[in-house]
Amino acid sequence: MIILNSLLNNQLLTNNDYKLYTQYLNNIEFKKPYFDENNLQLLLAIKNEESKLNLIGGGYIVKSTIDRDLFETVKDTWQASQSAIILDNKTGKIISFFGSQYDVFYSYRQIGSTIKPFYYLLALNKGYNTNTLLIDEPLKIGNWAPQNFEKTFKGEVSLKDALIHSINIPSIHLFLSLENSPQKSISTVEKFLKDIGIEGFYPHDITLSLGTLESNVFNIARAFTIFPNYGLIPKTYIIDEIYDKNGNLIYKKTPEIEKKIQTIKNESYSIMNNLLESVVSEGTAKNLFPVKKEFYGKTGTAEYSVWFSGYDGKISISTRKDGKFLLSTTHAIPIARKILNIYYSYIPLTKVPKFFFYSNNISNTSFENFISNNFNKKELFFSKKNYIKNIQNYEFLFPDLFLKYYDYDDNKNSSFQLFEFDKSNIKKFKNSLDLGEKNTYNIYIREKFFMDYYFPDLYIAINK
């Protein structure tokens, strides 16, 4: 109306036109715009990372890492009491998150039995095995009298049963056995959890063994990447590329490794992977999928929150639902199931590398003799698929020997060529990678040759 009055007063509008346009204006209905809370939370997360990149001004086109199909399919049925995140555990890309930015990245809730795989891993690394027997009898420490969920005791159970069925009392005994005093065990576990990036509120007492540590799904999903990655933790990110107003690429994120956990043996990770696979196939998370899948994970039930966190060879996921009188099996797992079923409807499940080699004498045996004694060289020579099947991740487990042999001069007394991949292509892939600082890059190359990541063309060809 202000503009119409001005036009009339300056004789730029006739009285009849003024009446007509006034009538039009009065007939306009102004509706409240639709407010999408989910998209706002995603936008806030992207803007937060933009600020870290020191972007000034506007007009940029930002390409995020978010899987739009997954995000859009899940978001409309999301509940305010839930939070979840799914990561690419090789590159660190945030594939999607659900719930408020605060709940996913900053809020703290007790994680319950989600904590157990981490200190069970420490026990395996100290020499415990899946058949180690643990005490399962009534326990009281000061005024604390913890209970098993079923309020029953079996006298003793194996380490495997204690983890996959999430039995509390034997888990506490395992926790206390890590060091020669309760306080040292607490300190050891807390240090390890902080080393792998779990930020939160730490209780500094034995209740830590049952997950009174408070954290969020982002920290837990990132920490779970140590299992499929055998100790590597990728640096997470949500912005993939940025273009200026003219369409020029001005920023492209390349994967970086945030940390390599040096203190855990490959065998320990491999055993833990087998245990966490059993949690899904026969333990507390066996209702995750209607049919068996090679997936790995752990449930967690606390007083005011329930969890499921897990992974395959490519993704890690963590889900949480807050509230009273909840169970992880009936409240957290259905959230994860919905997300994963949608994701796997168009993305194939990726297997976690297995640790197949236990020879203590390999350092004293030539690589060629070791291969000859353990594998059919003709099959390996004639079939790349058999190479993957029979010697999966040999280069990951024994990288120095692999690289030494791979550079073997074919003209010097070589009657066969074990590895059929073209050297120039592999070197080209390696040289094209930019994974941050040189020492981090070298650790990544030496410790983990993920074929799908480093050699995607070869990987696709092999799996056709």
Backbone angles phi, psi at 95, to 5 degrees: -70, -40
Higher per-residue pLDDT: 360 or 66: 66
- Half-sphere exposure of 137 toward its Cβ, with a 13 Å CA cutoff? 5
- The model's confidence at residue 425, banded by pLDDT at 50, 70 and 90, is very low
SS3 of residue 359 by DSSP: coil
Farthest CA pair distance, the chain: 102
State the pLDDT at residue 236: 93
- Tokens, residue 288: 């995750």
pLDDT at 430 over 50: no
pLDDT at 440 over 50: no
State the pLDDT at residue 36: 66
State the pLDDT at residue 252: 85
Residue with tokens 């449930």: 299
Dist. CA 296–CA 301, nearest whole Å: 17
- The model's confidence at residue 351, banded by pLDDT at 50, 70 and 90, is confident
- The model's confidence at residue 26, banded by pLDDT at 50, 70 and 90, is confident
Dist. CA 387–CA 394, nearest whole Å: 10
Dist. CA 274–CA 352, nearest whole Å: 10
Given strand 61-64, what is the order of strands in its sheet? Answer: 61-64, 239-243, 249-252
Segment 2-13 mean pLDDT: 77
> Angle at CA 175, nearest 5°, toward 171 and 177?
115
Segment 390-407 mean pLDDT: 44
153-163: per-residue pLDDT in tens?
Answer: 999 999 999 99
pLDDT at 464 over 70: no
pLDDT at 407 over 80: no
Higher per-residue pLDDT: 79 or 259: 79
Distances (CA, A) of 319 to 88, 199, 246, 366: 15, 17, 40, 47
Cβ 209 vs Cβ 172: under 8 Å: yes
Segment 55-77 mean pLDDT: 87
Share of residues in the chain with pLDDT > 90 (%): 50
State the pLDDT at residue 139: 95
Range among 259-263, 389-393, 399-403 with highest mean pLDDT value: 259-263
State the pLDDT at residue 421: 41
Cβ 448 vs Cβ 229: under 8 Å: yes
- Half-sphere exposure of 132 toward its Cβ, with a 13 Å CA cutoff? 18
pLDDT at 47 over 90: no
pLDDT at 442 over 50: no
Range among 4-8, 222-226, 425-429 with highest mean pLDDT value: 222-226
Give the chain's mean pLDDT. Answer: 79
- The model's confidence at residue 229, banded by pLDDT at 50, 70 and 90, is confident
241-270: per-residue pLDDT in tens?
Answer: 888 888 888 888 877 778 888 899 888 998
Dist. CA 463–CA 260, nearest whole Å: 29
Beta bridge partners of 310: 297, 317
- Find, among 341, 331, 245, the residue nearest to 289 by Cα: 341
State the pLDDT at residue 454: 44
Task: Look at 107-116, 166-175, 333-342, 355-364 and tell me which has the smallest mean pLDDT.
Answer: 355-364
- The model's confidence at residue 57, banded by pLDDT at 50, 70 and 90, is low
Dist. CA 232–CA 15, nearest whole Å: 76
Segment 457-461 mean pLDDT: 48
Dist. CA 224–CA 297, nearest whole Å: 9
Beta bridge partners of 156: 135
